[in-house]
A and B are shown apart, each in its own frame.
Chain A
Amino acid sequence: GENVEQHPSTLSVQEGDSAVIKCTYSDSASNYFPWYKQELGKRPQLIIDIRSNVGEKKDQRIAVTLNKTAKHFSLHITETQPEDSAVYFCADVSNTGKLIFGQGTTLQVKP
């Protein structure tokens, strides 16, 4: 069935360092891969997404890469800031729009 594995479960970095979170999916038909950021007590918010016809997408300090052959995609945050501290979720989206979430990564950015 559909499954998304996300690693690491926790990540602690110093302010200014880079952070990388990786996800692996199982459904070969998947073609859309969003990343959500969730701050404590709040709703998930989309921060970046990528489609299967693109290998990389960048938005300021955030980038996502996709390797369809290996079925994995990664979130890269550069020059991390304390406000980047949150839980990050990757997701795989089926053609019916169902989001299958990874387990989440708690990112802590130390000042």
Chain B
Amino acid sequence: NAGVTQTPKFQVLKTGQSMTLQCAQDMNHNSMYWYRQDPGMGLRLIYYSASEGTTDKGEVPNGYNVSRLNKREFSLRLESAAPSQTSVYFCASRLGGAGVGETQYFGPGTRLLVL
């Protein structure tokens, strides 16, 4: 199993450009999450999908949209990138339910620089 994968690994954008970050998991997990990590800020939740067909806002959703394409894939879209969106983006997934289903597994991250 590859676990949680993300593409691309690195991206440089100009202000106003759009792009989509891709995330996929092969663990048959029900829930998926997008976080951003800025220096000294820890990880902050952008959007999440508790189950296929549902999405909800997290702490910092402004400027982003998401799509839960199917059970495996959860994409994050920046419609008009801004320098404040320069960050490292992590996707995560969890099975759901009690016990071991609570553990979240993270992808390798996407480093985004907006000029």
Contact = CB atoms under 8 A, between A and B. Distances in A.
Interface residues of A, number: 20
A93 interface: yes
Identify which of B31, B42, B59 gathers the most chain A CB atoms within 10 Å of its CB.
B42
Interface string B48-67: 10100000101100000000
A32 B35 CA distance: 19
Interface string A86-106: 000100010011111111100
Contact of A46 (B43, B48, B50, B103): B103
B79 interface: no
Main secondary structure of the interface of A (DSSP, over half): strand
Contacts of B41: 103
B93 to A, nearest CB: 10
A97 B104 contact: yes
Contacts of B106: 43-45
Interface string A26-43: 000000101000000011
B109 A97 contact: no
A97 B42 contact: no
Given A43-B90, A44-B106, A97 B31 contact: yes
Interface string B77-102: 00000000000001010101000001
Given A43-B90, A43-B107, A43-B108, A97 B102 contact: yes
B45 interface: yes
Contacts of A98: 33, 45, 48, 58
> 8 closest A-B pairs (Cβ-Cβ)?
A43-B106, A101-B42, A101-B43, A103-B42, A104-B42, A97-B31, A32-B102, A44-B106
Given A43-B106, A93-B102, A97-B33, 6 more contacts: A44-B90, A89-B43, A96-B56, A99-B92, A102-B42, A103-B42
